[in-house]
Structure 1
Amino acid sequence: MSWKSVGIGAGVGALFGGPIGALIGAGVGGWFSASKDKYIRQVETEQLFVFTALFGMLAKIAKADGVVCPEEAKTIKAFMDQIHLDQRSKEIAGSIFSKAKDDRYSIYDYATQYATAFNNNKDMRIIAYRILFEVAASDGELHPEEDKILQGIIEPLAIDPSMYKLFSAEFFGRTHALSEHYALLDCTVESTDAEIKSAYRKKCIEYHPDKIMSKGLPDSFITFADEQMKMITCAYDEIKKARPGLS
């Protein structure tokens, strides 16, 4: 995933506005491809938006306690490797990170724009939330300011509050209730077996690699879709244990 300069940063910044637009307008737009193909440019615009939003939020959570610690930096570098960024893309990510961690915007500003872009895709909002949790947990403890952000960002990201407990369990070994497993499938304890099975199958389709690619996202984000799918499968398995008739 990489972008080559064509000098359209100001135009992109004007298009997006807010913190993401400010970063793009400040220089990130210069990493676009020179392709004149409208479809390619549209896909790259979407990818650039996601890229900037994610690393902008990562910068804010990493510096929530006043300093980016070595463990957090290591986790973010590992994240870059995990999504298979080439060297140029890592430089872009580093530039976004450096600018965002000290800019005048809050993580909630970035989250609001990100959520607006994915207003019809709750799963991408959850994936972003999980990445923030991973960085916060990288040093083995949850700083009060990090915890405040992880709880406060739920509303601007427009995700279910149960996600906080689910990821707390994943990264800090905290237990969570069966109701949270239902929430991950967009169901409740009152849902029928048929409704739960249907919801699970729908999630499987949503996280299929072809589905992720059709959304114009980088291939590397399939990694995070896979992680989310593991959580969904785990939730379904736990619900099945509580419902002997559900296969």
Structure 2
Amino acid sequence: MWGKLLGGLFGLAMFKIPGLIAGVFIGHWFDRGMKQQFEQAGGFAGLKRDQGDAQGLFMYSTFAVMGHLAKADGVVTPAHIDKAVAFMQQLGLGAAQQQEAQRAFREGKAADFPLLQQLQTLRQAFRWRPDLLQMFLEIQISVAYVDGRLSDIELKLLQQVAGALAISNTRLQYLLGRFEAEARFSQRQTQQTPAADAVADAYQLLGVAQSCSDSELKKAYKKQMSQHHPDKLVSQGLPKEMLELANQKTQQIQAAYELLKQHRG
């Protein structure tokens, strides 16, 4: 229908009545081709199936790459195991889902795990959803920092992950700094620390300089909230089990912004 309608309107605008007839005829064949492709994909059921497949791909890739990162330094430490278990619990995975996650983690640890191939498949599935790909990278950054430091091997591996997802090294360096600031800011919320330290971390968390204007600060805050908004990410394919991760991100962003507004008076 849309092909005939648009083709007819375009033909009418360009060549009057003859163009209208030709446009409708061409649009008819376009509609037929699109209809066949849609039916071959399973119609609306296919769209639903593809969404589920994409979420499964995201979940599998998360735990497989997590396992690969855990083995980056040659041995999986107890801290990495604890991180994976805690992550599964945080997501509220059922027994069957935990088994699938554990299987993905084990496969990711294997020496012959096709890391780049897996990441390319992930990027292809979410190529129009850069916020989701960034969320994936942020999860892997948290895994790399599980022991409180980032080794050269882990950094190199994160660079490979970022590159395969078409995320620049500059962006990766920003996300690494942001993660460190977020971790410190979260810790300082529960401790009595100098206000200046918390303020500095809040600026870094939001990705702006302390000399920024109020409007620049607000713009950065809105951008961060948009990138990590749970409803937006879930609608784009983030597994619902990971909704709490996005909630935590937005809570930290909100807390940082509120602190800076108070600090600025």
TM-score range, shorter chain: 0.5 to 0.7
- Partner Cα separation in structure 2 for residue 171 and residue 110 of structure 1: 29
- Partner Cα separation in structure 1 for residue 148 and residue 224 of structure 2: 31
Q: CA deviation at 1:61?
A: 0.5
TM-score, with length taken from structure 1 = 0.66
Cross-structure match for 2:151: 143
- Partner Cα separation in structure 2 for residue 97 and residue 178 of structure 1: 33
Please give the per-residue CA displacement for 1:142-198, whole angstroms capped at 9, x wherever unaligned: 33322332355443331513111111334478x877874454xxx788986446535
Taking a change above 3 Å as real, the CA distance of residues 172 and 135 of structure 1, as seen in their structure-2 partners, is farther
Please give the per-residue CA displacement for 1:17-52, whole angstroms capped at 9, x wherever unaligned: xxxxxxxxxxxxxxxxxxx93343122111111012
Cross-structure match for 2:11: none
Q: Specify the code of the residue in structure 2 equivalent to 1:169.
A: A
Cross-structure match for 2:236: 215
Instruction: Kindly indicate whether the alpha-carbon contact (under 8 Å) linking 1:115 and 1:156 is maintained by their aligned counterparts in 2.
Output: yes
TM-score, with length taken from structure 2 = 0.62
Cross-structure match for 2:60: 52
Taking a change above 3 Å as real, the CA distance of residues 152 and 213 of structure 1, as seen in their structure-2 partners, is closer
Please give the per-residue CA displacement for 1:127-148, whole angstroms capped at 9, x wherever unaligned: 2223223222333443332233
Cross-structure match for 2:127: 119
Correspondence 1:90-239 to 2 at 5 A: 90-105=98-113, 107-157=115-165, 158=167, 160=171, 161-171=173-183, 180-183=204-207, 193-194=214-215, 196-198=217-219, 200-201=221-222, 203-204=224-225, 207-237=228-258
Taking a change above 3 Å as real, the CA distance of residues 151 and 122 of structure 1, as seen in their structure-2 partners, is same
Root-mean-square deviation (Å): 3.5
Q: Runs of 5+ in structure 2 lacking a partner?
A: 1-43, 186-196
Larger % of helix: which? Answer: 2
SS, match of residue 37 in structure 1 = helix
Q: Specify the code of the residue in structure 2 equivalent to 1:220.
A: E
Q: Percent identity?
A: 27
Instruction: Kindly indicate whether the alpha-carbon contact (under 8 Å) linking 2:132 and 2:236 is maintained by their aligned counterparts in 1.
Output: no
